[in-house]
Chains A and B, each alone.
Chain A
Amino acid sequence: MALDKFRQVIENRHEYAGNWKSETGGKVCGCICPNVPEEYIYAGGILPVRILPDPKVPQTLAKDHIQANRCAMCLGCLEQGLSGQYDYLDGLVYVQSCLAQSQTFSSWVMHVPLAWNYRMFQPFRQDLPDARKVYVQLLEGFIASFENWLGAPISKESLAKSVAVYRENRQLLKQVYELRKKHPPLISGSDAQMVVLSSLLMDKKEHNELLKQLLQEMKAVQPSGNGDRPRLMLISSGIPPMDFTELVESIGADIVVEDHCIGVRHFWGEDPNDPPMDADPAEAIVRYYHEKKVQCAYQDWSGEKAQLRVSQLAKEFDAEAVIWLAQIFCGTHQWEIPEEIALFEKAGIPILKMQRGRTIPKSRFTEEIEAFLKDVKGEK
């Protein structure tokens, strides 16, 4: 089953990358945050993998470099780097997202030897032609540095192939999300998150094949239950631990969509009306990463796009309630929370705000979620 394979990769992500390296003789490049135009890296025959924390590991080494009151995401990622979990990496790239992840990159490149690293800045305004021009120039800087490390230019053909693989991946992920619109959803929230998370870690071509297999397997799946479980949307800063969704679903609700860094913020924005293949594949990269891709709260500083997006998602996926799972010490998303709470309350959609640290306190959360679900269902 495809889901088993996704689970295996997630549980053994370092082993997967190490095996890929030894089998292909290729290089592996770490990517911090979802704004890295991985298509270039992939076109160069290198495996891009997203840097992720391990919530089970305490952050002891990282706290010498980053304040303890930074988010668990940036501390956790750095901890993995400093402790040698990512010792197979040849390169590391960070494209500007939030300051906390920027710190992860800084301390990593200061203290962990790498053959290559690159920090790319980017303009966040999507409405201004000059911003696009600047983005293209900054991207050219990244490409030049990458090709210099690679020792060869990226050919247009290999870039076109890479762009096609990535676009297919995003489109297939969207198809998986379509299954969640059904009543009841045909795939659970925790399985859907596992699918997305594994896409950050795997060779995208292999991931696409597994996604196709999954979609095929899902055709035979019969909906379980009668669709009376509350349908929830999860909004969160960073990447929430996988066991949060599992916990919510074990209590008796379905998470039907999520707006966080391994939810729609990772792959949304691909426009089905875009030309299937650009004459210039680089244009497709600029269009996606600068113009279309969902911006995080750091980039969408006014929060307008986020508010519009979460409202639309709630409608599109028919979510009847929302959980806003805030990560403690995340300064990036904090202005959003009260405004989005007000937004949903105004729309008559129940919303529960919860706060997590590196891990989730299961017994306390269980009580809170149970009480919330009673409210949602109108039970006493």
Chain B
Amino acid sequence: MTQIKQQYEKKPLESWAKMKELRRWRFKNNWSAQKRGDLAIVSEAMMLRALWAGFGSPYYAVMSVSPYWTGAKRNPDEIHRLLAFTDSKGYGPQVCGALRLHLAHLLEGKTTVSPTGEKVVPDFAWQLNFCPQVSRLVYTAAKKLNIPYIQIEPLSGGDVEKSREYIVAQLYEAIEQVKKITGREYNPELLIEATKNELETLKLFAQICELNKSIPAPLCARDLISLTLIKTVMAHTKESVEFYKGLLDEVKYRAQNQITSTGFETKRLLMDAFPWPFPRALRYPETYGAVVVCGDHPFLDSQLEEDENGNWIPRRGTDEKIKSLKTMDDALRALAWLWEGGLKVNRHSLHNWHIEDTAEMPIRMAEQWHCDGLVLAAMRDCFQQMCFGMETKLLADARGIPNMLFYSILTDLRQFDPDAFQKQFDAFLSNGLGLTKFEERKEEGITKHA
């Protein structure tokens, strides 16, 4: 056993408090927006957020089918209860684990009820069909809540230009549908302003991700995953832009001054997904001094792209788009452009399912974020995310890149053994990467300090 030796300055993020404040505000806003006269919309993994700002305000409510999902997934007893409940309704283990928790809350009538008992009936449900099971959930919610449902269907690949045109046509159609549903007018100026914010937010987040190439990494993957939420729910607001500007400044400073979240960095890892009930898994390598610095989930929805030389960089053209954005059509096209951008880095999106082209992506990403190994997930309870791990592992094996492939879950604990996973992780970190667990942290496990 080795002793922890601090290599670098260790400091928590100062932006953390602001992030928590925004997250709290966002949750409360969901229960108050409609009373203020703003829209309340049901949707999952909100995308193209600026679209609905045109109906009066960017501060509309974005309600999940399960407002209490985050809390539930941290509570094994609650997970088991909810899964048993959906089983009893016929939605068994072949339905996405995460969505079964949402569905259980929907069937229990919790979707529209705040923690203090106020009830909000959403104006409509909408979903960008990045996953058919998610779309089916939101559609089911719309039927149950007796509200209209709107869907945008992107193409799952192929010609980018055709896909963009198709999305734009559907966005126009969706606006007309909501005009009829709500009787509201649509203000293109508000759309344009919100779209500029969304472009700016996502550009800033990509720059933050890029800074994690620095040695040592200014952020760990666990930080990044928490930091993605603000953009997921409110990327189109000025508060989001301000937050990520502040965060970018802070991360730049950390990178320049070798300030880290952990204080050490013996090895760097890519981890493309993690078992959601155990976010501690992302930090477990730290008990050996290693740090997860990049991956699909940590970089979720970020606007990174590979240039002609194979370098990962923040997507080019964002500033030009912001400057030239003048009309409603410009804005809708910019939103479709952002959707395409999110695909460039996230293999786990439904719309990147041509594995023959994307299997190598994590390997190239790992090289550029200076990683020493790959931790690849094979999903048990998400049919979308089970596509990629095996072929990437075969490629990594062929090239002699240290890697491990573990069976992961979104939430279905009945399909996951944390002890077995931890043993596999230990074997990889010690035998695969030649690391030794810190004496002071030898008792720590995947489930501890989650």
What is the interface of chain A, defined by CB distance below 8 A to chain B? 64-67, 69-70, 96, 99-100, 102-103, 106-107, 109-110, 119-125, 128, 130-131, 134, 137-138, 141, 298, 301-303, 326, 328-332, 334-335, 337-338, 341
From B90, B170, B353, B379, give the contact of A128 (CB < 8 A): B170
Which residues on B are within 8 Å of A, measured CB to CB?
89-92, 94-96, 129, 132-133, 135-136, 139-140, 151, 153, 155-159, 162-163, 165-166, 169-170, 173, 350, 353-356, 359, 378-380, 383-384, 386-387, 389-391, 394
User: CB distance B354 to A130 under 8 Å?
Assistant: no
Q: Of A110, A128, A331, which one neighbours B133 at CB under 8 angstroms?
A: A331
11 A-B pairs besides A331-B94, A334-B91 with CB distance below 8 A are A100-B383, A106-B391, A109-B356, A121-B157, A123-B153, A137-B162, A138-B158, A301-B136, A301-B151, A334-B92, A337-B90
Tell me whether A110 and B169 are in contact (CB under 8 A): no
Q: Which residues from chain A contact B153 at a C-beta distance below 8 Å?
A: 123-125, 131
Q: Say whether B94 contacts A134, CB under 8 Å.
A: no
| Cβ contact within 8 Å between A331 and B95 | yes
What residues on B are CB-neighbors of A122 within 8 Å? 155
Chain A residues, Cβ within 8 Å of B389: 67
| Cα-based distance from A102 to B155 in the complex (angstroms) | 14
Q: Is there an interface contact between A330 and B94, defined as CB atoms closer than 8 Å?
A: yes
CB-contact partner of B356 in A67, A110, A331, under 8 A: A110
| Cβ–Cβ < 8 Å partners of B394 in chain A | 64-65
Closest to A130 in B: B169
- Asked whether B95 lies within 8 Å of A335 as measured between CB atoms, the reply is yes
In the assembled complex, the CB of B25 is this many whole angstroms from the nearest CB of chain A, namely: 33
If A99-B383, A130-B166, A330-B94 touch, whether A335 touches B136 (CB-CB below 8 Å) is yes
A-B pairs with lowest CB-CB distance, top 6:
A338-B90, A331-B383, A106-B355, A130-B169, A334-B94, A121-B158
* Inter-subunit contact B159/A137 (CB<8 Å): yes
| One of A131, A302, A329, A334 near B139 (C-beta < 8 A) | A302
- Which of B91, B94, B162, B355 is A138 in contact with, Cβ under 8 Å? B162
Distance A341 CA – B390 CA, assembled complex (angstroms): 35
Q: Output the least CB separation between B332 and chain A (Å).
A: 13
Shortest CB-to-CB span from B420 to chain A, Å, is: 16
The complex places the Cα of A69 from the Cα of B94 at a distance, in Å, of: 10
| CA gap between A128 and B133 in the complex, in Å | 22
- Can you list 16 residue pairs at the A/B interface with Cβ under 8 Å? A64-B394, A65-B391, A69-B380, A99-B387, A106-B359, A106-B387, A107-B355, A121-B156, A141-B158, A301-B139, A303-B136, A331-B94, A331-B95, A331-B133, A335-B91, A335-B136
Residues on A with beta carbons closer than 8 Å to the beta carbon of B384: 99
> By the criterion CB–CB under 8 Å, are B132 and A328 in contact?
no
Q: B residues within 8 A CB of A121? A: 155-158
Which residue from chain A places its CB closest to the CB of B173 in the assembled complex?
A128
Nearest residue in B to A102 (C-beta to C-beta)? B353
Q: How far is the CA of A29 from the CA of B390 in the complex (A)?
A: 26
- Closest CB-CB distance, B101 to chain A, in whole Å? 15
Q: For the complex, give the distance between the alpha carbons of A100 and B140 in Å.
A: 24
